[in-house]
Amino acid sequence: MAETSASTRVDVIQTDYMALTRRKRLYSLVLLIVFVALMVAGFNTADSRNAGGFWNGITHVFDFPAEVLGEAWENIAELPRHLVAHLPALIETLNIAAASTLIGLIAGTVLALLSTRGLARWPRLIGLFRRLMDIARAIPEIVIALVLIFVLGGGPVPAMIAIAIHTTGALGKLFSEVNENVSLKPVEGLRSVGATWAQQMYLGVIPQVGPNYVSYALLRFEINIRASAILGFVGAGGIGYDLRNAMSWGQGKYDQAAAIFILLFLTIVAVDQISGYLRAHLTYGTQAREGVRP
């Protein structure tokens, strides 16, 4: 009697389990089908709204790089001169990225401290500062840059401000996540001896979170170099601006564009490597896996 009831229980469990598995498989299958359908439909829509079709273009992908490289190869003797000529623009691009990262780091730190429970100067305004960061993070750099170029004229400043605003939001969010894990003991100690809020934060919190902050800021610096090159392309100075000019001279003059491509590529790879190395040392590998999130 006891045996039969045990075996029926096992049967029931097994049929339940199999039903559950089948249902899960079905869900997974449905999800997969929906996903594939979305990809195919999306591709067809994008293809039909593109000026040139995918299947016509795919055979010509390497035409342009081949042309640029061919011209660069013909004028290979000129290449070092071009590389040197565009170096100031590259430095401007790097400066835009560095300055905006620095400003974003400072502003993001302040906003993150103001929006962390337990650390906030005005606990009631936490929500407000969080929304501010959300909005700053959601605005693509190009939006602010284009509007500021209209008011301030071309040059590095609009790009710097635009990238700094986005960086503030992006870093602020990451920083406030770091702040969640801060030990409050140093802060309480400092408060008990009458330190002001700024002193509590600078002496009690920053030393705890500093390495994490710097690690995230380095990551942001990599991303901001790319952003500042792109903003140059729409008129905000730096290497991107040179690139657009070099492109507009058209066929026969692509050796300059090739020089800029090389400079930009080498810079991005070099900065990625250096910052990856520094980050690995700052956080002892805990953040290494999230290494390349923009």
d(CA 203, CA 206): 6
Stretch that binds another protein, among 6-14, 44-52, 72-80, 108-116 (CB under 8 A): 44-52
Amino acid identity for residue 27 in this structure: Y
Q: Are 169 and 109 in contact (CB under 8 A)?
A: no
Q: What's the min distance (Å) between Cβ of 24 and another protein?
A: 5
d(CA 274, CA 280): 10
122 or 131, CB closer to another protein? Answer: 131
Stretch that binds another protein, among 2-10, 34-42, 75-83, 183-191 (CB under 8 A): 34-42
Asked if 185 touches another protein (CB under 8 A), the answer is: no
Asked if 292 touches another protein (CB under 8 A), the answer is: yes
Asked if 272 touches another protein (CB under 8 A), the answer is: yes
Asked if 238 touches another protein (CB under 8 A), the answer is: no
H-type alpha helices, the chain: 2-49, 54-57, 63-74, 79-85, 87-114, 126-138, 141-152, 156-179, 185-192, 197-199, 206-233, 239-248, 254-283
Asked if 22 touches another protein (CB under 8 A), the answer is: no
Q: How many CB atoms lie within 10 A of CB 185?
A: 9
Report how far Cα 291 is from the mean position of its chain's Cα atoms. 11
Q: How many CB atoms lie within 10 A of CB 37?
A: 10
118 or 210, CB closer to another protein? Answer: 210
Nearest-CA neighbor of 166 among 90, 91, 227, 230? Answer: 227
Phi then psi dihedrals of residue 75, to 5 deg: -105, 40
Asked if 24 touches another protein (CB under 8 A), the answer is: yes
d(CA 205, CA 119): 9
114 or 223, CB closer to another protein? Answer: 223
Asked if 180 touches another protein (CB under 8 A), the answer is: no
Amino acid identity for residue 292 in this structure: V
Q: Which of residues 84-113 bind another protein (CB under 8 A)?
A: 92, 95, 98-99, 102-103, 106
Asked if 45 touches another protein (CB under 8 A), the answer is: yes
Q: Which of residues 126-165 bind another protein (CB under 8 A)?
A: 134-135, 138-143, 146-147, 150-153, 155-157, 160
Compute the radius of gyration of the chain from its Cα atoms: 27
Asked if 229 touches another protein (CB under 8 A), the answer is: yes
Q: How many CB atoms lie within 10 A of CB 93?
A: 31
Q: Which of residues 57-76 bind another protein (CB under 8 A)?
A: 57-58, 60-61, 63-65
Q: What's the min distance (Å) between Cβ of 132 and another protein?
A: 12
47 or 188, CB closer to another protein? Answer: 47
Nearest-CA neighbor of 110 among 133, 77, 87? Answer: 133
Asked if 15 touches another protein (CB under 8 A), the answer is: no
Number of amino acids touching another protein (CB under 8 A):
71
Asked if 186 touches another protein (CB under 8 A), the answer is: no
Q: What mask of x and - would describe binding to another protein in positions 240 to 259, judged by CB under 8 A?
A: x--x---x------------
Report how far Cα 165 is from the mean position of its chain's Cα atoms. 13
Stretch that binds another protein, among 7-15, 47-55, 112-120, 183-191 (CB under 8 A): 47-55
